[in-house]
């Protein structure tokens, strides 16, 4: 199912920079723009100790975590060797300068049941993603799922959707 959700325009993201997409529950999503205007999205939580990747330094196809300088691939979320770990990756669509993410992924990836426990389902269905550039520390209670290709893979999905698309 293609439930692409408008997030922002490419120009809303600084070149070699990032913005955060706030969600009603769970860790924000960091969206990055490379020097050649490609856009990637990762859970805004470093696989090392949870640093906010949206505040890291983008270089090439990587972001350097602001806490301990791990290099995380924007393409697949994997930490560059010798470090081991991965950040959850979100699919991105860019068409005519418009950035979209999948609503189904925004509603499920990187959200654990504890985070959803405080969200009223009726209220959550009316919420949408909002773009923010203000820093926020990630919550240690959030899940840190990895893509299935990652050695640290966990089940990233929960049953309850929090977005209506
Ligand atoms: S928290 Fe990101 S490198 Fe340590």
Q: What is the pLDDT of residues 26-40, one digit of tens each?
A: 899 999 999 999 999
Q: Is the CB of 68 under 6 A from ligand 1?
A: yes
Supply the residue whose CA is at minimum distance from atom 3 of ligand 1. 68
Confidence of residue 25 (pLDDT cuts 50, 70, 90): confident
Residue 42 lies in a domain: yes
What is the tens place of the pLDDT at every residue in 118-163?
A: 655 444 444 445 566 534 333 333 334 455 445 444 333 322 223 3
Pick from 24-33, 40-49, 107-116 the range whose average pLDDT is largest.
Answer: 40-49
Q: Is the CB of 49 under 6 A from ligand 1?
A: yes
Residue 90 lies in a domain: yes
**Does 83 or 129 have the greater pLDDT score?**
83
Nearest to residue 30, comparing CAs of 4, 62, 2?
62
pLDDT for res 39: 98
**Does 53 or 120 have the greater pLDDT score?**
53
Confidence of residue 165 (pLDDT cuts 50, 70, 90): very low
Average pLDDT, the chain: 79
Residue 127 lies in a domain: yes
pLDDT for res 120: 53
Q: Is the CB of 46 under 6 A from ligand 1?
A: yes
The tokens 């924000």 sit on which residue?
28
**Does 127 or 10 have the greater pLDDT score?**
10
Residue 160 lies in a domain: no
Q: How many domains does the chain have?
A: 1
Q: Is the CB of 80 under 6 A from ligand 1?
A: no
Distance between CA atoms of residues 161 and 105, nearest Å: 9
Domain residue limits at 106: 4-143
**Cα within 13 Å of Cα(33), Cβ side:** 19
Residue 162 lies in a domain: no
Residue 163 lies in a domain: no
Q: Is the CB of 102 under 6 A from ligand 1?
A: no
Q: What is the CATH number of the domain that holds 82?
A: 2.102.10.10
Residue 149 lies in a domain: no
| Distance between Cα 80 and ligand 1 center (Å) | 12
**Does 90 or 130 have the greater pLDDT score?**
90
Residue 48 lies in a domain: yes
Query: Which of 48, 55, 81 to mutate for ligand 1's pocket (most ligand atoms within 8 Å of CB)?
Result: 48
For the whole model, what pTM was predicted?
0.75
- Atom number, ligand 1, closest to the C-alpha of residue 69: 3
**Does 164 or 82 have the greater pLDDT score?**
82
């Amino acid at each position: 199912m293609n439930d692409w959700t408008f997030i922002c325009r490419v120009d809303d993201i600084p070149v070699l920079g990032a913005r955060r997409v706030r969600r009603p529950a769970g860790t924000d999503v960091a969206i990055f723009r490379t020097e050649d205007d490609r856009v990637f999205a990762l859970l805004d939580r470093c696989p090392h100790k949870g640093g906010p990747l949206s505040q890291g330094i983008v270089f090439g196809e990587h972001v350097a975590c602001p806490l301990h300088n791990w290099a995380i691939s924007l393409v697949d979320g994997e930490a560059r060797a010798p470090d081991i770990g991965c950040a959850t990756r979100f699919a991105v669509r860019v068409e005519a300068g418009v950035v979209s993410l999948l609503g189904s992924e925004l509603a499920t990836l990187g959200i654990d049941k504890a985070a959803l426990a405080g969200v009223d389902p009726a209220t959550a269905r009316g919420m949408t993603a909002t773009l923010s550039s203000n820093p926020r520390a990630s919550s240690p209670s959030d899940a840190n799922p990895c893509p299935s290709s990652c050695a640290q893979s966990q089940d990233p999905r929960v049953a309850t959707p929090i977005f209506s698309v």
